[in-house]
Amino acid sequence: MKPPNRPTSSPGILPERLPRRAFLLRAGLGLMCGLGLGQDARQRVWGQSGRAGDAPLPYLSLTVIAQVPTPEAPPTRLTTTDLTLYDAGVEQVIESIEPDPSAATIVFLADNSATFQVEVGDMEQKARSLIRELFTGDRLMLVGYAKAPEILCDLTDDAAQLIAGAKLFRKSSTPRLYDALLAVTEDVFRPATTVSKRVIVLLSDGYDEGSQTSFEAALAALQSADVVVYALQAQDRTYGAPRAKRLGPKPAEALRLLTEGTGGRSFKLDEAQAAAVLTDEVRRRWFRLRYNPQAVNSTTARRLFLVAANDQMVLRAKKTQPPSSTILK
């Protein structure tokens, strides 16, 4: 990481609450400028299975993550014989699987609602734990959400700016989790067409109240943009109380579906090595798998199923391949 520079916000200034369009300008354009993308690179690409139209591209790209017990585990190596991929129930021929050595773009997204059972000081400490574990080239954004997402520190690899931003968490109002996930996906990751490692570290209990976005729409957006969700799971404030189906899954189930559905994983809030394990995976245990889908309908969402040849190996990937017209390479 770069040596300390000036912080983006002073501790005495509350962060600005941003509606979705403003969030796009601050977050999405900030990301593009930080990556040095030109105008052509900022155009949306209908990558993996085809451009917006009727001429699909021949190959799809899929993130595969190898899970190990601790960061001290030996380097992971994968070949095409180490796993089997099923797309829509059909076994696929894997063209290649290679390590992804690129830097990561990470959004630390924390529940800032009034009833969330984590204090702001603890939120700061979790953010600082993640900041300490970043690898060279990784870029991090800090966002708190209640009724709307608030950028506490824009995308940067500057430790001083991130530490200053981590002091700005505050609690108010109700948690619109699904709206926040959609805003981050569409306004931060969707424009970043040259970034292959897209990560949300979600500090939450999974509870949503009042989102205009449905759970299903939020998850589909994450999958289509190839965003992987890691969760730092807090105590469920509802204690498993019944929940109307139209409001989405129960909080704990929502976190499970978000992480498993995107190829991520959950950590207990008090898990000491969570940040180290998470960043070790992102840096050293991510792979890009290429395959040419056969006997599938690319215009509909399809289930993906990954099987490791060795039953001692844990491999993860997103559970659903969205329609080709929504996929971002």
Kindly tell me if the per-residue pLDDT of 214 is higher than 50.
Answer: yes
What is the band of 266 on the pLDDT scale with cuts at 50, 70, 90? very high
What is the reported pLDDT for 326? 72
What are the tens digits of pLDDT across the range 268-316?
Answer: 999 999 999 999 999 999 999 999 999 999 899 999 999 999 988 999 9
Please, are residues 296 and 88 in contact by the beta-carbon 8 Å criterion? yes
* Measured distance CA(117)–CA(236) in Å, rounded: 8
Please, are residues 230 and 199 in contact by the beta-carbon 8 Å criterion? yes
Kindly tell me if the per-residue pLDDT of 128 is higher than 90.
Answer: yes
Q: In the block, which residue shows the tokens 């699987």? A: 97
Tell me the mean pLDDT in the region 110-136: 97
Radius of gyration of the chain (CA): 19
Q: In degrees to the nearest 10, what's the CA dihedral of 184, 165, 136, 103?
A: 0
Kindly tell me if the per-residue pLDDT of 91 is higher than 70.
Answer: yes
What are the tens digits of pLDDT across the range 159-190?
Answer: 999 999 999 999 999 999 999 999 999 999 99
What is the band of 50 on the pLDDT scale with cuts at 50, 70, 90? very low
Which residues contact residue 130 at a Cβ distance below 8 angstroms, ignoring those fewer than 6 apart? 106, 108, 140, 201, 275, 278, 279
What is the reported pLDDT for 327? 65
**Mutual orientation of helices 215-224 and 177-184 as an angle, nearest 10°?**
20
Kindly tell me if the per-residue pLDDT of 5 is higher than 90.
Answer: no
What is the reported pLDDT for 23? 54
Sheet holding 266-268, edge to edge: 149-156, 139-145, 104-111, 197-204, 227-233, 266-268
**Mutual orientation of helices 251-262 and 215-224 as an angle, nearest 10°?**
20
What is the band of 22 on the pLDDT scale with cuts at 50, 70, 90? low
